[in-house]
Amino acid sequence: MSIACSNIKPPQSNGDLTFINTAETQWRDVPKEPIKYAPKEETVMVSGGLTILQDKLIQAALRSMGENYISIPNPDFESFQKGKAYGNRGQCNPTYFTVGNLVKYLQKLRDEEGMSAEEIVRKYVYVTAGGCGPCRFGMYITEYKKALRDAGFEGLRITGFEHDKGIFQGDEIDDGILNFTPTFFVTLIKAVIIGDIINILGYKMRPYEVTPGSVDDAMKQCEDLVAKAFMDKKSLLRTLWKCRRILEKVVLDRLQPKAKVMVMGEFWAAMTEGDGNYNLHRFLESEGAECIPQPIINRLMLNLWEAERGLHKKEALETENAKVIDFSSVKTRILMKAGKIAIKTHFSLYAKAIGLHDYEIPDMDKLAKLGQEYYTLDCDGGEGHLEVAHLIESVKENIAHLVISVKPFGCMPSSSVSDGVQSLVTSRFPQANFLAIETSGEGAANFYSRVQMALFKAKQSAKEEFEALEKPEHIPEKVHNYLYQPHSEKAGTAAQLIDSLGY
């Protein structure tokens, strides 16, 4: 739906006659006056909103293809306030943060860099994710347009990839302006995957660094190397081997029993690194925890799983009604399978090169089986059944000492999952240490204090798990190297390491 009805007024009544004010019309998301947009060579594509590292790598990757592309800075509290000021009422938190962030960026171009609003509208295109919902994701593009109009940038082009239907382009965008080719997407996905891998390593290493800041320094060097490799079209595999040498030099003390905390929940709120979730990951690390983040690849795998399931259902309906072979759905199935294999292969090649040996891409079929008793697989808004499945998996496989589900204020799917279904899960799995927590953009003190309370129990569990193990007299130096991969069923890293030594 692309029509916002907030300015419709009720008919006015005068005695027994009803007057309709025909001057009032519904708001439509097309500019009032036609706009002559800039040609491709002057057009600037902007986007952002993933992790900070991924946004930087995507910028390098797309620029290497000749795209005039800029990743805008991570959303902050000011972005949120602008989102609230210019957006519709009752939106979810990620909408306010991301929409407000674009407004903030454009206002900066206008107010600090001296560009006129007309020039900005003519030249800039914003690329975002879109979808059919059923949550507010389906309204994102309209939300951007409404906020931009109210902020003085009416007509700025917005285009999006529709996550469940391949590529969707805003109807006013000329195909010649944006090169949404297979190469474009492959390059984009490579940047996302490498960003995921480096981020995962950062979360595994940072809590154990001996010199504060050394992991971030090493990660920055890796980021620069990978960005340069994209720009110079050099081998990404060889570059990741170089990154491995950099990371190996970071001195770690991995025998500290730290609470392992799985951070999951609504995709954006759980993934973002900033005010959007009160900087949750860094806060947890500062409080002595190790985070298990949700990489973007999880979301890609969920999208593919949902698309495949949709296709199965469609085919089942078709064979019930008529025995026809739909060649287009056979082709789609082959493409989806190929996409899945390509993503997994790239992930595992890159992960091996840099030395991330112990990370398994989530098995979506397994997670669906775990979650389906509690949450229908047919409801695929937000993360669908995934939050429930992650919690059950974490308890059954002893993955973490604490599971935090971050749910944004105003989020429909995540609220129903966390507030409703998870209470049944936690009553059936009483050993689960689970915290569902809302991010509203405000009220950080309350958020942190709830996290600290849940973390207290998690830290105790990590300590008890570690202390219960018999320690060898001599601990080999290799356990501190990030390349050493412990095989153990314990949750905490330190306990895994001792356990894996076989004493």
Amino acid at 49: G
CB 79, min distance to ligand SF4, A: 15
d(CA 43, CA 462): 53
Alpha helix (H) residue ranges in 382-475: 386-396, 412-415, 422-428, 444-467
C-beta of 414 vs 433, nearer to ligand SF4: 414
CB 441, min distance to ligand SF4, A: 12
C-beta of 144 vs 466, nearer to ligand SF4: 144
Burial class (CB in 10 A: 0-12, 13-18, 19+), 345: exposed
Listing DSSP states for 262-301 in one string gives EEEESHHHHH--SGGGTTHHHHHHHTTEEEE---HHHHHH
CB 135, min distance to ligand SF4, A: 3
CB 50, min distance to ligand SF4, A: 14
d(CA 250, CA 268): 30
Q: Select from 114, 19, 125 the least CA-distant residue to 72.
A: 125
CB 204, min distance to ligand SF4, A: 27
C-beta of 290 vs 438, nearer to ligand SF4: 438
Instruction: Give the HSE-up count for residue 265: Cα atoms under 13 Å, Cβ half-sphere.
Output: 29
CA torsion 77-82-84-88 (nearest 10°) is: -150
C-beta of 86 vs 137, nearer to ligand SF4: 137
Helix (H, G, I), strand (E, B) or coil at 25: coil
Strand partners, 391: none
C-beta of 55 vs 438, nearer to ligand SF4: 438
d(CA 325, CA 60): 43
C-beta of 94 vs 492, nearer to ligand SF4: 94
CB 65, min distance to ligand SF4, A: 29
C-beta of 92 vs 392, nearer to ligand SF4: 92
CB 89, min distance to ligand SF4, A: 14
Contacts with ligand SF4 by CB under 6 A lie at 92, 94-95, 135-137, 266, 268, 382, 408, 411-414
Burial class (CB in 10 A: 0-12, 13-18, 19+), 80: buried
CB 415, min distance to ligand SF4, A: 8
